[in-house]
Structure 1
């Protein structure tokens, strides 16, 4: 073999293989990166407890006596109504005793003017939102709508100023607006801050994920994703337990958002992505990161490897510049004019929308199930842990496409049939099964989508997918309202979206153990190789 050819084939991933995916250098950086991910896990769930429904009833000024509820408050489906009371007789000469059964017309129900709250731990009591479910569900919708701004904003900051700066900006924004929200004076102030916090800080997870992904080689990506998912789950469980213990939404917000402000120090202690340095032509800074990793991990990388990687990065950058100048277009415009990129953007965005709708929808609806709302939510979150272990085992063994498509289709099968299962243990098992498989699909999608886009605009394109996909999470808080028309309508909707997603996955290329594409040209070659493989497979089957 020609030695010159061998030299040209050395890539960054070859150096990463020598450095090892989880040496001391990466462990240090991952510990720093995973802390904001843990916080993000809390922030993604907290709105469920801020606006949790409470136990309350109509206030009956004429007779505030709990023993008189049988003839002052009507009963529907075996429970006392929250929003209706019995009207007093117009002609009250029958009796002067306002707590007498004769004082109330039990054939006439009227809406409440005010409420008696038996619990005080959510904004429902503080801002008097009794029987205004749309205001409660609006909290979750407004929160998730903030991601339409934050994710592309974080992506632009990440690609222009670095992954580290994007992470710090988003984390500090989370902390500042979250703490201020804890001191909201009214519902209007609260809802504005509920939007601003994720609008400026909701891109933390994406920024952290891209930085972590670019620090390891192909063999470390799935395990890195597992670490992220685990920390995210721990965040969700932690905020649930804190809410249960504190029974105060103000104390809860202050406690969980204050640490995020401290992430500001990451500007000095967190390592920037060498891939980002290379994409910006800062080759010396990028190589310094790799050499620092080599020193900390106490391994030896041949010097010519660094020289070859630098030359390769320079050639790729020059090729992109040359191509851009020839067509008088920016690289980003070239990407958007590429049918390949449009295809991947559309498919990944739809997959993201379906995933977030089903994933968050199942979590939110779990609070509405019978039993302890906190325990329900914890169980639905914890079921994600075995799903993430399954992802670690299956993604590299069976490939991204097969695992994700199977997970989507099994989610669809379970949730569409959920309504036909009698209430009880089997019904609960099916519900948890749906959450298990959608978690497997959704979390695998992060790895899959990141691998199909080129490095120089990976964060931006991933952010576009995630942003458009947030349509699902913005709509998810409204799905419990569908149950008022038909109890199982939410799960049927989730099943249909999952089925469509499972079919679309097959139109994307397999990325298992493939080099991350660093340019549009490499992404096109990736797609071409996939088509050739599928054609050969079809020909072989035809011959057999």
Structure 2
């Protein structure tokens, strides 16, 4: 009897299959949602161009820039940016631009500069030879995500996916536009933090809403669309920066459209799944019926009645489980060594991934050649990596693909450190490192979600993601390592990636496995893997 009932029971996913993943209703909502994703990709890279280093030299008593005797030069004849020769202790004439007026045996630090470019805050706020202030911009920007990740999750669960999306994107627009009018470095750096702190959850809010509006067959395609739009965002901000050559105009151009997305409150469809979870069944069913009408599909009326009953039962079940879980979750997490091991492992993998992923993008701007082209190429290499992720994960398994990608990243980047700079091979190795870390990083999202039990999954993933932001916050500082050894940043990235590759092997394989719904099922994953290893070794012997 129960088996017969389960066969005829209709769920939301059944209705979504009938509605189809690519009807007019879906496409309209995808277009609306993907625009904020594009903006999110733009905002995640803009700090690289706001604080771009410029060409400048010391301002000395001699105004002639061709006077090489005023500053020391390196072995390649490049003049120092931060040192000058001390004025000679003589006063014969009013002539201040003669070789004998400078003591080339004594070098002193510059106290003022002559800038030959003006497209970043370096000139605006006189940051010459204060690289720590430049790199602090990226660190402060990424630190804002420590606030935005839990904040957007809270708004999304309490007030709806649509409200979370609009709040995040409009906040980004407001603080971004205000930042364009910064009058000093202190004002700029505060706004650089507030913008991602309140608006950094745009991508997450969009992703959740898109997945909840589409059926199972459309989720992989939606994921690929999101990755593609994010990459296009990075390319767009690079081209705009190259064209405008003004950080203030750049901020006004990219952040102003976000403010107008306030109208999404009236244009965008709310998630019917969220409406069901809040007991607003009639509103949720109206969303499905609207989709039916626009897609020109006919759904049997009794399907909606069954879906409403199913949603009510699920909500009651979740309420009961929540009470039971809240009594024991903290104790179970503290008592489970397996949970702690997976949490620490995934947190390290996340930190390593963000450090290497963002670090390679940022350090690409320090490479020889055109800064803008370097950054575009390093971003575009992510596209084939995302396609490979979709192909390889199901075919070869999560663990094997991620471990291989991490190890190859490590091997490539360590070897890159011993190649002569500026050559074709060094470029190939650098792009190879970015390709494989992108494959590992994006695959980690899926893998980490599958190793944790359902009752703890959201909380533990949020912890991993938040701790992982340490890597992205540290990444902007890594170009400073090149002062001590030119290839030190990539060597650090390579070692971290290689360590992560071996650490992945301590986690269980989750490919083609049922998602663990409880602590016991999560432990069974480990047990099955150990049994499989024993069986394989026995068969070989």
Q: Same fold (TM over 0.5)?
A: yes
Query: Match of 1:541?
Result: 536
CA distances 1:44-95 after superposition (whole Å, capped 9, x unpaired) = 11111110000000001x2111232x211110242100011111211334x5
Task: Tell me the CA shift for residue 194 of structure 1.
Answer: 0.5
Query: What is the SS of the residue equivalent to 2:66?
Result: helix
Point out where structure 2 has 5 or more consecutive residues left out of the alignment: none
Distance between the aligned counterparts of 2:339 and 2:161, measured in 1? Answer: 22
Query: Match of 1:33?
Result: 33
Which of 225, 228, 239 in structure 1 is aligned with 2:226? 228
Distance between the aligned counterparts of 1:279 and 1:331, measured in 2? Answer: 23
Aligned length: 535
Task: Give the 3 Å change call, closer, same or farther, for CA 191–77 of structure 1 in structure 2.
Answer: farther
Task: Give the 3 Å change call, closer, same or farther, for CA 25–247 of structure 1 in structure 2.
Answer: same
Q: Check conservation: 1:218, 1:514, Cα contact below 8 A.
A: no
Point out where structure 1 has 5 or more consecutive residues left out of the alignment: none
Task: Give the 3 Å change call, closer, same or farther, for CA 543–274 of structure 1 in structure 2.
Answer: farther
2:427 aligned with 1:428: yes
2:129 aligned with 1:141: no
Query: Match of 1:21?
Result: 21
Q: Check conservation: 2:51, 2:134, Cα contact below 8 A.
A: yes
2:399 aligned with 1:398: no
Q: Check conservation: 1:357, 1:476, Cα contact below 8 A.
A: yes
Task: Give the 3 Å change call, closer, same or farther, for CA 151–323 of structure 1 in structure 2.
Answer: closer
Q: Check conservation: 2:19, 2:295, Cα contact below 8 A.
A: yes
Query: Match of 1:3?
Result: 4
Task: Give the 3 Å change call, closer, same or farther, for CA 451–7 of structure 1 in structure 2.
Answer: farther
Task: Tell me the CA shift for residue 225 of structure 1.
Answer: 1.5
Q: Check conservation: 2:509, 2:529, Cα contact below 8 A.
A: no
Task: Give the 3 Å change call, closer, same or farther, for CA 470–33 of structure 1 in structure 2.
Answer: same
Task: Tell me the CA shift for residue 196 of structure 1.
Answer: 0.6
Matches within 5 A, 1:180-329: 180-301=178-299, 305-325=303-323, 329=326
Q: Check conservation: 2:454, 2:517, Cα contact below 8 A.
A: no
Query: Match of 1:407?
Result: 405
Task: Give the 3 Å change call, closer, same or farther, for CA 175–454 of structure 1 in structure 2.
Answer: farther
Q: Check conservation: 1:184, 1:190, Cα contact below 8 A.
A: yes
Q: Check conservation: 2:125, 2:185, Cα contact below 8 A.
A: yes
Task: Tell me the CA shift for residue 498 of structure 1.
Answer: 1.8
Matches within 5 A, 1:304-383: 305-325=303-323, 329=326, 339=336, 345-383=343-381
Distance between the aligned counterparts of 2:266 and 2:427, measured in 1? Answer: 48
Query: What is the SS of the residue equivalent to 1:87?
Result: strand
Task: Tell me the CA shift for residue 454 of structure 1.
Answer: 7.5
Matches within 5 A, 1:382-531: 382-423=380-421, 424-449=423-448, 462-508=461-507, 522=517, 524=519, 527=522, 530-531=525-526
Q: Check conservation: 1:155, 1:460, Cα contact below 8 A.
A: no
Q: Check conservation: 2:453, 2:519, Cα contact below 8 A.
A: no
Task: Give the 3 Å change call, closer, same or farther, for CA 425–381 of structure 1 in structure 2.
Answer: same
Task: Tell me the CA shift for residue 245 of structure 1.
Answer: 0.8
Query: What is the SS of the residue equivalent to 1:105?
Result: strand
Distance between the aligned counterparts of 1:461 and 1:270, measured in 2? Answer: 30
TM-score, normalised with respect to structure 1? 0.90
Q: Check conservation: 2:453, 2:521, Cα contact below 8 A.
A: no
Task: Give the 3 Å change call, closer, same or farther, for CA 32–116 of structure 1 in structure 2.
Answer: same
Distance between the aligned counterparts of 1:185 and 1:462, measured in 2? Answer: 39
Query: What is the SS of the residue equivalent to 1:420?
Result: coil
Q: Check conservation: 1:159, 1:459, Cα contact below 8 A.
A: no
Distance between the aligned counterparts of 1:422 and 1:542, measured in 2? Answer: 45
Task: Give the 3 Å change call, closer, same or farther, for CA 347–24 of structure 1 in structure 2.
Answer: farther
Distance between the aligned counterparts of 1:296 and 1:331, measured in 2? Answer: 46
TM-score, normalised with respect to structure 2? 0.90
Task: Give the 3 Å change call, closer, same or farther, for CA 468–259 of structure 1 in structure 2.
Answer: same
Q: CA RMSD in A?
A: 2.8
Query: Match of 1:57?
Result: 57
Distance between the aligned counterparts of 1:508 and 1:295, measured in 2? Answer: 46
Matches within 5 A, 1:92-171: 92-93=91-92, 96-171=94-169
Task: Tell me the CA shift for residue 155 of structure 1.
Answer: 1.1
Q: Check conservation: 2:358, 2:475, Cα contact below 8 A.
A: yes
Distance between the aligned counterparts of 2:427 and 2:85, measured in 1? Answer: 37
Task: Give the 3 Å change call, closer, same or farther, for CA 525–270 of structure 1 in structure 2.
Answer: farther
Q: Check conservation: 1:349, 1:466, Cα contact below 8 A.
A: yes
Distance between the aligned counterparts of 2:512 and 2:301, measured in 1? Answer: 26
Task: Give the 3 Å change call, closer, same or farther, for CA 310–406 of structure 1 in structure 2.
Answer: farther
Distance between the aligned counterparts of 1:269 and 1:182, measured in 2? Answer: 29
Distance between the aligned counterparts of 1:485 and 1:109, measured in 2? Answer: 20
CA distances 1:224-253 after superposition (whole Å, capped 9, x unpaired) = 111111111111111111111111000000
Distance between the aligned counterparts of 2:525 and 2:89, measured in 1? Answer: 78
Q: Check conservation: 1:45, 1:236, Cα contact below 8 A.
A: yes
Task: Give the 3 Å change call, closer, same or farther, for CA 368–422 of structure 1 in structure 2.
Answer: same
